């Protein structure tokens, strides 16, 4: 098969093969290979299974270039990929609450039009969070009109000592190579997954948040008879969101985080995935380096604002 092998699974290939009446080419990601044939996933997620005897030529080709991203759409997509335990709408703006666990699940998301003046929305937000015993917060995309409007109403940085949060994106083809470790995927995380995800007791609300997406998958790697790396993937349209990546002490700098991302990407491809995003603190140099090597690039940054 012109040099293609199991090592090429996850990479883009072109395969010329016989069909009734002639020859045709299939371009896509090599999804499976064995001496008897292979399977190529086209960009529309159609899987073409081709017998080895029908292949006349096959080779790897360069990855697809990274297209610009609609940051407004991605801002909302990322929120839908990890929904809060409780939500309410003010126009298109989203109020989220989850007993105070994580900023994303306990903040106002300004996307689209609120349908009323921003000062009125912020008063509703303050009342919403006060009723739940939570501080009022807004997750704002830096440089967006909503960021400027909310700041003009007197809201200030809620976490001045913390760096910006980067949302990074890439095409799935960049990250769905064969992982260097066996990655187990399950639709529901077990106790071992949660034990690796948290240093102490699991927050009571955490399972509702982490397991609340319409389509999610939980990844783990077991070494030395224990779960030592975990991550979560969620599908929203053709987007794979990757989050909750954690590698236990003593197992870092061994490529486990990379393998988790790749394992989730290989799940997302057959489920219609074409692009992927994740979030990382700018100050997390090690994670930034890993994701950059995988092909992720910055889409936008966000911070949290709060009322004075």
**pLDDT tens sequence across 73-94:** 999 999 999 999 999 999 999 9
CB atoms within 10 A of CB 90: 19
pLDDT digits (tens, 9 = 90+) for 243-296: 999 999 999 999 999 999 999 998 998 888 889 999 999 999 999 999 999 999
SS3 5: coil
CA distance 261 to 244: 11
DSSP-derived pairing of the beta strands 184-186 and 165-171: unpaired
pLDDT mean values, one per 10 residues, the chain (308 residues)? 78 91 90 90 79 93 83 95 96 97 97 95 97 97 97 96 96 84 96 96 96 96 97 96 96 95 90 92 93 94 95
What six digits make up the tokens of 74?
């991605």
pTM for the full predicted model:
0.85
Dihedral sign, Cα of residue 261, residue 262, residue 263, residue 266: positive
CA distance 288 to 246: 14
DSSP 253: S
The pLDDT value recorded for residue 287 is: 93
What six digits make up the tokens of 286?
């090690």
Distances (CA, A) of 238 to 64, 105, 108: 16, 22, 25
CB atoms within 10 A of CB 152: 10
- Contact between 29 and 12 under an 8 Å Cβ cutoff? The reply is yes
């Amino acid at each position: 098969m012109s040099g293609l092998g199991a090592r090429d699974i996850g990479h883009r290939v072109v395969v010329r093969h016989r069909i009734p009446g002639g020859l045709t080419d299939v371009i896509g990601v090599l999804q499976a290979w064995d001496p008897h044939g292979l399977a190529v996933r086209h960009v529309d997620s159609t899987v073409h299974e081709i017998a080895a005897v029908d292949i006349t030529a096959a080779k790897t080709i360069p990855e697809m270039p990274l297209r610009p991203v609609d940051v407004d759409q991605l801002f909302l997509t990322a929120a839908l990929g990890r929904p809060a335990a409780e939500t309410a709408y003010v126009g298109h703006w989203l109020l989220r609450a989850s007993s105070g666990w994580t900023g994303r699940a306990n903040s106002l998301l300004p996307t689209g039009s609120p349908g009323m003046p921003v000062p009125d929305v912020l008063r509703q937000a303050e009342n919403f969070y006060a009723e739940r015993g939570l501080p009022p917060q807004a997750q704002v995309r830096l440089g967006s009109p909503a960021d400027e409007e909310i700041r003009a109403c007197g809201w200030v940085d809620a976490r001045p000592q913390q760096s910006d949060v980067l949302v990074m994106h890439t095409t799935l083809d960049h990250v769905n190579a064969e992982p260097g470790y066996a990655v187990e995927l399950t639709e529901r995380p077990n106790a071992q997954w949660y034990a690796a995800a948290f240093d102490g007791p699991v927050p009571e609300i955490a399972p509702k948040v982490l397991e609340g997406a319409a389509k999610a998958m939980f990844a783990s790697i077991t070494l030395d008879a224990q779960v030592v790396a975990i991550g979560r993937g969620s599908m929203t349209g053709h987007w794979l969101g990757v989050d909750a990546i954690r590698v236990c002490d003593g197992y870092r700098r061994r490529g486990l985080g990379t393998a988790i991302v790749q394992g989730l990407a290989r799940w997302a491809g057959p489920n219609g995935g074409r692009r992927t995003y994740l979030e990382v603190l700018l100050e997390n140099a090690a994670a930034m380096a890993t994701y950059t090597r995988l092909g992720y690039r910055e889409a936008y940054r966000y911070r949290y604002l709060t009322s004075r």
